[in-house]
Amino acid sequence: MAAATDQTPISNSPSAHFERTVANAINNFPTARLLQRADAGQIEMRHYHAILCCLFHQTYSGPYTFARAAVNCEWRHELAKEYLLRHAEEERTHWRWILDDLKSTGYAGPDLRNTPPHYTTQAYLGLTYYIAEHTPIARLAIAAVLEGIGAAHGSVYGRKIVQQLKLQQFQVSFLLSHADTDIVHTAELNKVLAASELTADDWTWMSHAAETAGRFYRAIYDHEAF
């Protein structure tokens, strides 16, 4: 008789592979340089301004890729189609939080609406536009990664920034507000995905989008400014 083992077999199903891909992106995120700096107590205002400037274009343009994906989504993914549109509307004005946070902490740089995005942000946005056109259901996969990262790490690192820079919570409205809403969004996404009938090809693109989003989004927090 073979010896008993308490190890749970790893599922090779496409959906399980997607879930592992999302989990890996979330778990690896704290290795980014900005978060390592926060863990070491070395955050300076220039670092805070740099990450807000990078995230501005994500929030300024990103919601419209949700809407674009909703338009392109097939009606067999009706729930996803509706959720993508609702999510676009909800996220549409969050770029104003970033401008408010920058203004309240003494940022004196150019108007970000008139400047091009940092190359790391541009890469992430390019992915969202491509997925919205090519495999729009996989826009949910990108959201699952970002919402998962925010839910798992946003509050922890947002508060470290508050403490190290001695900021008021209204000066970190973007990071702290997203940390709370991302928990809700993660639960919503899980429900939508559970109710969506995805093919093997769909899951392949879901995993691809999730892995690429994890790499590109982490790069925003890992670039040379940190």
Instruction: Provide long-range contacts, Cβ within 8 A and 24+ apart, for 168-177.
Output: 170/104, 171/101, 171/104, 171/105, 172/101, 173/97, 173/100, 173/101, 174/52, 174/55, 174/59, 174/94, 174/97, 174/98, 174/101, 177/97
pLDDT digits (tens, 9 = 90+) for 118-131: 999 999 999 999 99
pLDDT digits (tens, 9 = 90+) for 170-211: 999 998 887 778 888 888 999 999 999 999 999 999 999 999
Q: Could you give the percent of the chain with pLDDT greater than 70?
A: 96
Judge whether 5 lies within some domain. no
pLDDT at 137 over 50: yes
What is the CATH classification number for the domain harbouring 208? 1.20.910.10
Residue 159 structural domain: 34-220
Element (H, E) at 130: helix 119-134
Residue 45 lies in a domain: yes
Q: Report yes or no on 60 lying in a domain.
A: yes
Name the domain count of the chain.
1
At 28-50, the pLDDT tens digits run 999 999 999 999 999 999 999 99
Q: What is the pLDDT of residues 50-97, one digit of tens each?
A: 999 999 999 999 999 999 999 999 999 999 999 999 999 999 999 999
Angle at 90 between CA 18 and CA 25, to 5 degrees: 25
Q: At 10, is the pLDDT very low, low, confident or very high (cuts 50, 70, 90)?
A: low
